Amino acid sequence: ILDAAKVLSEPMVWDALKRCLQSRELKMESPYSELGLINTTSLMPAVIPLNFKLVLIGSRQVYYLLQEYDEDFKGLFRSLVDFDSDLELSDEHLYSYARLLKSRINEQGYADLEYSAVERMVRFSARLAEQQDVLSARIGEQFDLLAEADFIRKLAEDELISASHIDRALSAKEERTSRVYDKLFEQMLDGTVLLETSDSAIGKVNGLTVMSLGDTSFGSPARITVTVYPGSKGVVDIEREVSLGQAIHSKGVMIITGFLGNRYAQKFPLAVSAHIAMEQSYGYIDGDSASLGELCALISALIQSPVEQSFAITGSVNQYGEVQAIGGVNEKIEGFFRLCAARGLTGKQGVIIPESNRRNLILKPEVVRAVEEGKFAIHCVRHVDQAIELLLNRPAGEQDADGNFPEGTVNGDIIERLRRISKLGEDKKTD
């Protein structure tokens, strides 16, 4: 059994391995002979016949690269076994997981786990898998956590590993790796990074992002702003215009244009110019998880209706206004919660996430506690109308059989505003 990545990292080893498999014999030779260099060896050992089965283990990325770029690979390694990185959270797998932890404890000489600690390890495993009903097969990270929890237990001179030891181990890791985020968080608190968690504002929405540094990810709120004026440029992604917006992010912005035209401009041309920006962001931006927030900010700017700044929002949206799942939902919620908690929880603050991400929620105990006490809220939505009603604190309005929306509703105001802008453009052409 060989690790494919390690074999490939050694010069000339991969080619030598392939020759052995093809000839079914092991020939002792200098690696420098492959480079055309003079070989000074005078005696050559006898060739050794080979009769064995070779198993290569490695990541999917390594497998796909070899499939793509090495013509001999398919013939030499004909069978693939693709192991899942997650396990269903069943009684059988829970029992096997507990036995695995016990085996590791005995092997390393750790103290035994309390029942609450086993529960906490299961919760951590599910969080790695980003799903409530799944266990992660990334065992290495879980063994590392177990080792650090036992070290903390020793320092406290406790007999068993408890849930508090595991929580302290998780906090210690976060503290060691969060220097960059701590700096960013300080800038949010001192006003260098502009983010509001109270009051309301037109065309401004608190989005949610995830930053990854090595093996650590953390969530951070980011302000999304939109300006709207009469014109024919459509929805302009400022990030893309300056080559900071990547393909998937730009796709999300273009979908917003499709949604606006399909829903609101069936009876007149869509003639509007809007600019969308992720403020105080100076790196590359990718992913479509901001598209729901961008659409809500656009609607706010279009009808001049203020957005509640006590909310942060994340979610992908399609051309029919349906809200789609995103990644990193736990980190995003915790990032905004940390900012709200530092400024003081009012009971009005919260986050808006896709309904399809409900099953991914595995939050830190302090966030769960705040939600249970009514100090912080998590709203799950299926459609952009639900998000609009929360952010603008106004009824969105339902479409009737003729395709019209009631007057005084958000959707009704959008159509009226777009119609006026379209008529203004037609009047200018006539002049």
To the query of whether residue 289 is one of the catalytic residues in this protein, the response is yes
Burial of 278 (0-12, 13-18, 19+ CB in 10 A): buried
Alpha helices in 4-52 (DSSP H): 4-9, 13-23
Residue type, 5: A
Closest by CA to 341, choosing from 358, 365, 357, 361, is 365
Residue 234 Rama label (left phi>0; alpha psi -120 to 50; beta): left
Q: Are 420 and 303 in contact (CB under 8 A)?
A: no
Q: Which helix (H) or strand (E) holds 298?
A: helix 291-303
Residue 217: count of CB within 10 angstroms of its CB: 16
Residue 403: count of CB within 10 angstroms of its CB: 11
DSSP state of 357: G
Q: Which of 136, 162, 289, 300 is catalytic?
A: 289
To the query of whether residue 429 is one of the catalytic residues in this protein, the response is no
Q: Which of 204, 332, 364, 375 is catalytic?
A: 332
Closest by CA to 203, choosing from 289, 281, 275, is 275
Give dist(CA 182, CA 112) in Å, integer: 35
The two three-digit tokens of residue 118, written as one number = 């086993």
Give me the active site residues, please.
Answer: 289, 332
